[in-house]
Chain A
Amino acid sequence: MVQGFLDFISDPANWSGAEGIGNRILQHLAYTFLSLAIAALIALPIGLLIGHTRRGAFLAINTGNAARALPTLGLLTLIVLLIGIGRVPVIIALVVLGIPPIMASTYAGVSGVDRATIDAARGMGMTGREILTKVEIPIALPLIISGLRSATLQIVSTATVAAYVALGGLGRYVIDGLSLRDFPQMLTGAVLVAVLAILLDLVFALAARYAVSAGLTGRLRRNTDTKTSTAPAPAGVQ
């Protein structure tokens, strides 16, 4: 079984061409980033608005929780049957899955900013917009990035499942391999998707480390007497 997988993945013929591994990886990344970008364009402003005004928190928290319960395969098949087979319905489904984690953590990050900090900013004469862009967003950045990170993982994972409703990308190996009872091919798709997910997760972990203001993490400070953790809270605790 594993030998067959090694044979499959080391055969140069399987890497080139439209159905080759190289192209499948690019397709997978393209779907992922397109869906993530659209989801972020929708979810970030809403999350920022709810967090800044502290109105509608109910919406942000509950869509986040409800989305976790939504079966991705059900959503995919439902949207595809309603709209028709093609890339657009699948991208819509991926966007729908990407929105809640981004919105919920953006809201949590912005609304979690200490009131005293905001009062101090206002006392210095900052306008609402300045408070948002210069105080709230930088402080909320670790959580915002953590939301983008969960959304990415959700999308990468679901994009694989989406091969079932005729999408390209790495999921094709899984679905085609399954119908041909070609286990090495399935294993190739599964391993590549797993590696891709881990690499993307790593990229976000690094981004979180370096995108966050050094004033908050104490990264560049010599005496780290006041440490602020950039690690996200454990699951369910926010």
Chain B
Amino acid sequence: MRWVDDNSLLIWEQLREHLYLALIPMVLGLLISVPLGYVATRYSWLANPLVALGGVLYSLPSIALFIVLPALIGTKVLSAANIIIALTIYAVSLLIRNVIDGLRSVPEEVLQAAVSVGYGTLRRVMTIDLPIAVPVIFAGLRVVTVANISMVSVGAIIGIGGLGELFTLGFQQDFLTPIVVGVVLSLALALLADVALVGLQRVLTPWARVNTPKEA
């Protein structure tokens, strides 16, 4: 506990870094996969290849992707950009499937009703399709977020890893406390993010609370 008091500044700093390394890719992943998923539902021949590509990309080990990226896109080897881009790639490759499945779950008669009362494409997508797809998209988003939060730590091996740097520090000094602190904070962060997403989903889908309260 002594160590925690003495190093609270360091711990805070790593926690902040961890949070932003995990959350930026989550947001970017959502911003990329929603339009991409929409295009894939419009041009349905795109859907299967995109989902398959996502599967392949998601199977790449994170440490490998952190290192291969600089060679492919010319970022510096020890740059936070590699972590953010790699985690964004994971987020998109997992979310794309949920977005496509979610948008496809919108009943055809609902779409036709929207068009017949005069909704334009953009307004229909934003106010009808996406809200109905929220539960499926959020299921994926929760997985992505929790996985990202645990994956950020791996970046510590190449020097940028938020709480992961507490693991490398503890390992180098043969000292358990920083590792335990890092694991506990990382788990707590994942739990909090998950709870926050569940809350956000409830806010975004008020009708779910009325009809099927257990599903929310």
A positions within 8 Å CB-CB of B? 1-2, 5, 65-66, 68-78, 80-82, 153, 156-157, 160-161, 164-165, 171, 174-175, 178, 183, 186-187, 189-191, 193-194, 197-198, 201, 234-237
Contacts and interface: CB of A to CB of B under 8 A. Distances in A.
Contact of A78 (B67, B138, B176, B187): B176
B2 to A, nearest CB: 18
Contacts of B174: 81
B167 A73 contact: yes
Interface stretch (B5-13, B120-128, B141-149, B204-212): B141-149
Contact of B61 (A1, A80, A82, A197): A197
A187 B143 CA distance: 29
Interface in B110-148: 136, 138-140, 142-144, 146-147
B139 A190 contact: no
Interface SS of chain A: helix
Contact of A68 (B65, B150, B170, B179): B150
Centre residue among A66, A71, A191 by max chain B CB count within 10 A = A71
B202 to A, nearest CB: 16
Interface in B51-106: 55-56, 59-68, 70-71, 77, 94-95, 97-98, 101
B1 to A, nearest CB: 18
Contacts of A71: 149-154, 163-164, 167, 182-183, 186-187
14 contacts: A69-B149, A69-B194, A70-B183, A71-B150, A73-B153, A74-B183, A77-B170, A81-B176, A157-B61, A189-B64, A197-B60, A197-B64, A235-B95, A237-B136
